[in-house]
Chains A and B, each alone.
Chain A
Amino acid sequence: MANNKKYWSGLDELDGTEAFKEIQAKEFQEQIPVDQFLADERHSSTTTGRRDFLKFMGFSLTAATLAACETPVIKSIPYTNKPAEITPGVANYYASTYYDGMDYSNVLVKTREGRPIFIKGNTSTGIGAGKVNSRVIGSVMSLYDKARLDGPTQNGNSTTWDDLDNAMSAAVSGTGRTVVLSNTIVSPSTVKAIEALGAEHVQYDAISYSALRMAQADAFGVNAVPSYHFSKAEVIVSIAADFLNSWLSSTLYAPDYALLRGPERGKQSKHFQFESAMTMTGTNADVRTMIKPSEEGKVAAGLLAALKGATVSNLDAGVIKSINAAAKSLNSSKGKSLVVAGSNDLATQTIVAAINQQLGNYGSTLDLERPSMAYRGDDASVSDLVKDMNSGKISTLITYGCNPSYDLPNADAFNTGLAKVKTSVCMNGVADETAVRSTFVAPDHHYLESWNDLSLNSGRIDLVQPTIEPIFNTRAAQESFLNWSSSENSDWYTFLRRQYNASYTSDAMYSDSDWNSAIHDGTMTGNDSPESPEYTAAIDTTQAERKVASVKGGAFELVTYVKATAGSGNHAANPILQETPDPVSKVTWDNYVTMSKSDMDSMGLNTYIAQEDMGSVVKVTVNGKSVELPAFMQPGQKPGTLGIALGYGRGSNGENIGQAAFQTGEQGEHLTHASGLPMPIGANAYPLTSTSEGYTIYANYDVSIEATGAEYPLACTQIHNTYMGRESVVKETSFDSYLAEAGKKKGEASWNKAHRLNVHEDTNHDGVIDARDKKNTSAFDLWHSHPVEEVGHRWGMTIDLTTCTGCSACVTACNIENNVSVVGKDEVLRHRDMHWIRIDRYYASDFSLEKGDEEGVGVIDSYGRMEDPSENPQTVHMPMMCQHCNHAPCETVCPVAATTHSNEGLNQMTYNRCIGTRYCANNCPYKVRRFNWFNYKGYKKFEHVNPAHDSLARLILNPDVTVRARGVMEKCSMCVQRIQSGKLDAKKSGTPILDGQIETACAESCPSNAIKFGDLNDSGSEVRTISENNRAYHALEEIGVKPNVFYMTKVRNS
C-alpha cells in the first residue's frame, strides 16, 4: 500500500503553491466545489481522505459577501471511475459494531462520499435497544486523529511490514514463552487467529470485574458476568455500581432502566443507590445514600441480613434506615428486583449474588444462560505475567487492544518487565504509553476501517465492517497474527469468512446471501447454546460477611470511577468528548478530586469554581504513590471520601497520543512542564488502585490528603447549581403525589399548575368578575399572530425529565451532527462553550423562601442560602436547547432579520445575514444562543483543540451544515438539515411524513428515549400525544413566548 500519504485539500496544496498556503490562513475563502470529488485514481489505494477533503472545504468555509467581487475559478473534479454505490451528496449507512473492551454497541455508520461522519445506534437489529452513549458516538473522531501511526515502527523508527513480519515470525517460532496480552477479546475469529499463533493468551480489563465473575463461578459454576435485565427490575439496589454510565455494558442497561421509569404505567421502578462519589446513576436514584467505600461490603451484608429479617448494625443510622427501606421494597417484589454492586471485591460480590439468589432474581432479572463474553479479564494471571516478565521468563510479548503501561495498577512493574522482554510488539494505533516501550509497533486498523466479528453472548454474532479505506498504512491486528503464525492463509478477510463458510474463496466474495444479509444487518444469530445453570445451590456467605465486617476505613477513603466522557482512558485525545461536560460535575477538559463541602471547608479549600475562582490543588497520597489534582466541591460526596476519575493523565511522558490530550493555555499553546514535556490533562489514577488477593481494587480505604496551596482553573459549563426555587423552570413531584392527581387535566394537577392571569370577564361563571376569574397564559396573545399551531408542520420536541439520565449522549451527537466548534478549556472557562444543546443539572437545596419565612430569615439571605445545594441532594437533569418559541424574543430584536420564524414553527438562524450584535442572545430567556467569538477554524488559539484546524480531522464535519463564520450567532436548528431531507423524501415518495421518519441527532441518540421529536400538528404523532399529557409543560411558561419544546414533570419514586 502507498506509504507516502499526505492530506491535501486540493490540487494546489498538493503542489504546495504559496497561493494555497495563504488561502488556508484566510478567514474568507471562496467556496470550493461541493458537488464533485477528486478522482479516485486507485480505488484500492488509500486516497479516501484526499478524495473527500476537497468536498469538505466547500461546505466548511463560509463565503465572504464580497468574495463575489472577483470571479473565482474553481476546479470541480469528478471521479474517473465512480463507484456504483456512491451518489454525490447522498449519505450511505453501514451497520457495524463498536467494542473497545468496555462499551459494546451495534451502530450505524453514516458515510458521505466514503467518509464516516456520524455514528448512531442500530435500533433495528442491535442488541438490546441498540442504543449508544457519548463515548461510542464520539469514537468517529478518533478515526481522523493525525497522531495515528502511519506504518509499523521499530524502536520508534518506521519500518516495513515485511521486516516486522520476519522479525516477529522468528520471535514467535523461537524458543521462550510468547504471550499475547490483550483486553477481553469477544471476537471468535480473532481468538482463533491468536490461537493460530500458538502463544499464551492473557486477557485483562482496564476496569476489572473478575470478582463479580468469580462470585458467579463459586456460586453457580459459571465463570462469567451475568446478563442483567433492568427492564424487568422494579426495585433496583445498586451498591456503588454506575450501571447507567460505566458499569459493565451500560449501553444495554440505560434503555432498559428507562423503560420502568415513566409513571404513566401506574407504577415506576424504585431505585436505591448506596455510593460514595456522586455518580450519574446516583443522580437518578430515588433514594440515594452516602456511604464510605469501606462500607460497601457491610451494606451488602446488612441488606442480606435485613432481607432475612435480622437487624443491621455497625453502620450509620441513616444508612441502616435506607437499607431497611430497600430490603422492604426488595422483599415486596421478589423476582422482579435486582441488586448490583460495583465493587471488585469477591466477598461483596458473593453476598450480592446470595441476595439476588435469595430474592429469586436469577433467571428473571439476571441470568447466566447466555453468559456474557465480555469482561473475562483475569487480574491474577496478569500479575503473574508481570512477575514472569520481570524475572525474564517472557521472550516475546504481544500487546493488543490494551494499554497496560498506562492502566495496570502495577504499571511501573509492568514497564520494567517490558524492558526485560526480548521482543515486544504493541498493536495500538497510536504511539501510546505501551507502544513507545515496545520494540515494535504494528498499528491496527481503526474499527471503522476493519473487518471483525464480535459475540457478546452465544446468542448472536455482530459484524464489524470497514466504512472507509484505511487512512494510514495500518494493518488489521488479526492479519498480523496470521502473518506471524505458521498458518498458510494470512489474509484476515478470507480467514474471517472461512469461519462461517469453510469453503469460502474470493470469487464468492459477494455471492453468499447469508453473509450479505448479515453484513446488511450488522449481525447474525450465533450457534446459540443456552446453558441452564442451577441457581439453587446454597451460597455460604459467612466467611464473606466476616471479611467485609473486618474492613477498616481511614480518615479519608478514595474511590476511583469512570467518567461518561473519558472512559477508561482511550478517549483522552478526543476533543469532542473532552469538551462534552461531565454529566454530574459539568466540568470539561479535566480531572479533579471530588470532595464534600464540609471536608473542603475544614481544609480551607475553594468550593466555588468560576472563571477567576480557581480550584485549590490537593495532593492525594495512597501507599506511597500520590497525585496532585484540583479539588472540586461535589454535593452528594460522602464526607471523608474522595473521588478521582480514571482515564486521565494520558501521555504523561509526552507520548504523542493526539494533540487534544494535552493542556492548552490562554493562547491555545500546549502547556509544558519544566522538563519541556507537554502537560497531560489531569493525572493518572490507575496507580492509586491496588491488587489484593488477585483482584484489582478500585477503592482505597485509607488515603492521606493535603492542600498544596497551588491553584488550578477548572472549566465548568455550569457554575450555579440550584434552580433557586424557580418552579416554572423545573417541575418535579413524587410518585405518590403524581398518582394522587394522575387523572387530572393538563395544567390542573398541583405538580404542574398552568400559569393563570386575571381577566376582566366572568371566566368561572359565578356571576361576578373578581380575582377568581383567570385564564391560562397560553390563552393570551398580544397580536393576531402567525398561523404555526394549526397550519402545515409544527416541528416540536418533548423531553421527559423523569427518564433523562443526564448521560450527555445527545450533547456529543449534536456537536458532531451540527459541526459545533470545539473551543478548548480556556474558552469554556470564559463561559463560551458553543454547545447547541446542554444538560442543565440542578441540585436540590435545603433552603427555600418559604423556609426563610418560617425561620424568619430575610429574603436576601434566603436567596443566598438557596444557592447552596444540600449535602446529599436530589438531582434534576434538564436538557436545554433552543425552544423554537413561536413568539421568540430573539427574533423581534434582530435589526437585520437574520433570525426569523418559519411556518413550520422553527426559529430560523440565518448565518449569512447575521451581523453579530448579540442582542438576540441577550434577549433569549433560555440563554441557548451561542456566538462565534473567534474564527474557530482559523485562529491559532484553537489549533490544538478544534478539528477544523487540521486537514485530516476536518473530514468529520457534516457537509450538510454550514461551518459558522466568526462573528455570527448560532443555535439549535432542530437539525433542520434532517427535516428538509425528510420532507424531500416524503415528497419524492408522494406520502405524508410518518411519525418518527425524521429524527434530530439528540432524539436519535437518547438512550432512554427521554427526548422525542416530531410534528406537533400531526394529530397522530407521539410528540403531540405527549404534549397533551398532564405532565407536559413549557419552561418559563409565564413569559408567554410559546415554545415548541415541551418538558415532562419529573416524577421521583421516593
Chain B
Amino acid sequence: MKKVFHVMYDDDEKLLVAARELVGKGIHVNEVFSPFPIHGIDPVIGIKRTRLAITSFMYAMTGLTIAVSFMWYTMISDWPMNIGGKPSFSLLENLPAFIPVTFEFSVLCAAHGMVITYLLRNGTLPGMPATNPDPRTTDNMFVMEITTDSNSMNAEELETAIKNTALFELSIKEIK
C-alpha cells in the first residue's frame, strides 16, 4: 500500500529548483520525466554517471582483435597467395594493408555494441510500452515521481512539502 505523487512542472528550471528544495528536505525523488535532458538534475536526484563509454571501448577492442586475427588467418595462415608480389609471410609485413579494415571494423563493433547495450539497459526496445505518467512529459511538461515507500515521511508530510514547490499540477495515485 503506497502512494505515488506525480508532480508536474511547466518549466525545467522550476523543476530543478523544486527538486533541490525537496531533496534538501531529505525527500527522495524516484524519477523525473522530461521532454529533453534537464542539465544538472542527475546529481540532485542522485543518478550516477553511466558506464556506457567504457563498454564502447571494450567493444572496439574486441572488434580490433577479431579483425586483425581474422585477416591474419585468411591472408597469411589459411591460404597465403602471391598477390601482386606482396608478402604474405608474416602479419607485420602485411599490416599496412590491414589497417583500414581493422579501423572500420573496430568502429563498427564499438558503435553497434554500444547502441545495443544502451537500448537493453534502457529497456527501450521495439514494441515496449511507454511508461511516462503523462503524455505531456514528451511535450512541454516535467514530472517528478515521488513515492511513499521510498521515503521515510508519510504521505501527508510529503504532500505538503511538494505543494510548497512551484508545481503546475499534482496527481496522487494509490497502489497496493
Contacts and interface: CB of A to CB of B under 8 A. Distances in A.
Interface of A: 783-786, 788, 885-892, 894, 897, 900-903, 1042
Nearest to A886: B85
B71 to A, nearest CB: 13
Interface of B: 81-89, 93
A898 to B, nearest CB: 11
B87 A887 contact: no
A377 to B, nearest CB: 58
Contacts of A891: 83-85
Contacts of B87: 783-786
Given A783-B93, A784-B89, A892 B83 contact: yes
Contacts of B85: 783, 785-786, 788, 886-888, 891, 901, 1042
Contact of B84 (A784, A892, A902, A903): A892
Given A783-B85, A892-B84, 7 more contacts: A785-B86, A889-B84, A891-B85, A892-B83, A897-B81, A900-B82, A901-B81
Nearest to B89: A784
Contacts of A901: 81-85
Contacts of B93: 783-784
A783 B82 contact: no
Contact of A888 (B81, B84, B89): B84
28 contacts: A783-B85, A783-B86, A783-B93, A784-B87, A784-B89, A785-B85, A785-B87, A786-B82, A786-B87, A786-B88, A788-B82, A788-B85, A886-B85, A888-B84, A889-B84, A891-B83, A892-B83, A894-B83, A897-B83, A900-B81, A900-B82, A900-B83, A901-B81, A901-B84, A901-B85, A902-B82, A903-B82, A1042-B85
Contacts of B86: 783, 785, 892
Contacts of A887: 84-85
B76 to A, nearest CB: 13
A576 B75 CA distance: 42
Top-9 shortest CB links A-B:
A892-B84, A891-B84, A887-B85, A901-B82, A786-B82, A785-B85, A783-B87, A891-B83, A900-B81
Q: Interface SS of chain B: helix, strand, loop or mixed?
A: loop
Contacts of B83: 891-892, 894, 897, 900-901
Contacts of A902: 82
A534 to B, nearest CB: 67
A901 B88 CA distance: 12
A900 B88 CA distance: 12
A545 B87 CA distance: 73
Contacts of B88: 786
A704 B27 CA distance: 114
A889 B84 CA distance: 6
Contacts of A785: 85-87
A202 to B, nearest CB: 65
Contacts of A888: 84-85
A887 B82 CA distance: 9
Contacts of A885: 84
B12 to A, nearest CB: 52
A894 to B, nearest CB: 8
B87 to A, nearest CB: 5
A785 B82 CA distance: 9
A1042 B84 CA distance: 10
A783 B89 CA distance: 11
Nearest to B88: A786
A788 B89 CA distance: 15
Nearest to A905: B82
A786 B83 CA distance: 9
Nearest to A786: B82
Contacts of B84: 885, 887-892, 901
A64 B85 CA distance: 31
A887 B83 CA distance: 8
A974 to B, nearest CB: 16
A889 B85 CA distance: 9
Nearest to B83: A891
Most chain B beta carbons < 10 A, residue from A788, A888, A1042: A888
A889 B87 CA distance: 14
A900 B81 CA distance: 7
Nearest to A892: B84
B81 to A, nearest CB: 5
Nearest to B75: A897
Most chain A beta carbons < 10 A, residue from B81, B82, B85, B87: B85
A391 to B, nearest CB: 76
A175 B153 CA distance: 143
Nearest to B81: A900
A1053 B82 CA distance: 44
Contacts of A886: 85
A786 B81 CA distance: 9
Most chain B beta carbons < 10 A, residue from A785, A786, A886: A786
A902 B84 CA distance: 10
Contacts of A894: 83
A784 B89 CA distance: 9
A890 B84 CA distance: 7
A785 B86 CA distance: 6
Contacts of B89: 784
Nearest to A784: B87
Contacts of A890: 84
A785 B81 CA distance: 12
A888 B81 CA distance: 13
A101 to B, nearest CB: 51
